[in-house]
Structure formats: C-alpha cells, structure tokens
C-alpha cells in the first residue's frame, strides 16, 4: 500500500466514481503526480476545464462553522447524537485479550477460581461446572500462551506468563494434556489447538 501511494498508483472504481465527470478525474490525476515538474501548478489548475465550466456552484460552509462558535457547537452535538446510536457491548462481558493481560499483570499468578473448582474430592470434580467460567479460564491461558510466543524461548521460563500458564495447566483438567510441553516447545500449533478447544466449548 505504501509503495502504491508513493508511486501514485490509483484508479477510479466505477461503483464509487460513476457519477464523477471525466474532467474532474483528469484534474485529480494532474494533481496526484509524483514528479513535481510534471504535476499541475496553480495556474494550470485555475485554467482547468472542470473549474471553468464543470464545477458545481455549491457554497461551502466550512468558514461559517470555523468562525461561529455556536454553529461549531451545533455540528459537534449532531455528531455526538449519531455516535450515541452505536451500541457497544459492556466491558464486563466483552472478550478483550488486552484487558485480560492487563488484569493478569495486576493480580497474583495464583488462579483461585480455577483451583477452587478442581480441588477437593471426586464428588466435587463431578459437580456441574459453569461453562462460561471454564471458557474464561481457557481464554486467560491462551493470552499467556500468546505472550510466551512473543518471547525468546530462553526467556519464557523466567516470565510470569510461564508461571501463570503452568498453574493453569496444573489445576485445569481441560489443559492437563499441555503439561508435556516445556517452555522451549511452545508453538503456534499449541495456541491454535487451544483456540479450537475454546470455540468448540462455545458451540
């Protein structure tokens, strides 16, 4: 994309530009020339057929809005009303890996919710488990795993993400089969496998 912009490589797709005149397109082409020696100068622009005969006589109100504080405030209020019509998911229920990572850095690496589910006798292990909590635990594990993938293999074992990952693998049955992987053998395939597990649980 950067190369195309630097070389002024562009086109006018019919769907978006079908109502734009050929003279207007010609003016745009003349202004978007990389070589300044070949680019249209101000005199050529002012003498261009589009400005002389084709340009629509539509007044622009930008100067009015800039000069008038009341008009500017009205325009901003109208924009804010449009923004308020957009409904966003509550932060508490949204899945945001960045927020999860930030919270994990603030907390201890001891994951009490997971441990409280899986500690105890066999009867407790067989008790119904909140699936949404299960999914959140696996998502947290995936976040730590992704952090580890961005580290050098020799640095992983000393990181808080590795300690947190080990804790989750130790106390979460759904992650127990990952215990055979040491810090140097964490791969993208493991992350993809865990992601597929999460997707299957949601379905």
pLDDT at residue number 41: 92
pLDDT at residue number 115: 47
Given a contact cutoff of 8 angstroms between Cβ atoms, the answer to whether 197 and 174 are in contact is yes
Q: Indicate the pLDDT class of residue 134, thresholds 50, 70 and 90.
A: confident
Q: Average per-residue pLDDT in the chain?
A: 75
Strongest mean pLDDT among 80-84, 86-90, 101-105, 118-122: 101-105
pLDDT at residue number 40: 92
Given a contact cutoff of 8 angstroms between Cβ atoms, the answer to whether 39 and 31 are in contact is yes
Residue 159 Cα to chain centre, angstroms? 26
Question: Measured between alpha carbons, how far is 110 from 162 in angstroms, rounded to an integer?
Answer: 12
Question: Measured between alpha carbons, how far is 14 from 86 in angstroms, rounded to an integer?
Answer: 30
* Model confidence pLDDT, tens digit, residues 39-81: 999 999 999 998 888 776 666 556 655 566 666 666 666 655 5
Instruction: Give, in degrees to the nearest 5, the angle at Cα 164 between 189 and 192.
Output: 15
* Model confidence pLDDT, tens digit, residues 135-181: 888 889 888 888 888 888 888 888 898 999 999 999 888 888 889 88
Q: Indicate the pLDDT class of residue 112, thresholds 50, 70 and 90.
A: very low
């Amino acid at each position: 994309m950067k190369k195309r912009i630097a070389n002024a490589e562009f086109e006018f797709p019919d769907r978006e530009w079908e109502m734009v005149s050929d003279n207007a397109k010609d003016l745009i082409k003349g202004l978007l020339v990389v070589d300044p020696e070949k680019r249209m100068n101000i005199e050529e622009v002012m003498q261009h057929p589009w400005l002389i005969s084709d340009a629509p006589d539509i007044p622009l109100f930008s100067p009015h809005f800039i000069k008038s504080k009341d008009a500017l405030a009205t325009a901003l209020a109208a924009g804010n009303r449009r923004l308020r019509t957009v409904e966003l998911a509550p932060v508490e229920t949204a899945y945001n890996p960045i927020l999860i990572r930030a919270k994990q850095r603030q907390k201890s690496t001891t994951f009490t919710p997971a441990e409280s589910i899986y500690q105890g006798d066999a009867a407790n292990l067989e008790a119904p488990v909140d699936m949404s909590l299960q999914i959140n635990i696996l998502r947290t594990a995936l976040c730590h795993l992704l952090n580890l993938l961005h580290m050098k293999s020799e640095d992983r074992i000393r990181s808080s993400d590795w300690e947190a990952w080990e804790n989750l693998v130790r106390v979460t049955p759904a992650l127990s089969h990952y215990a055979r992987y040491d810090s140097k053998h964490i791969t993208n395939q493991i992350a993809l496998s865990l992601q597929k597990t999460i997707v299957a649980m949601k379905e």
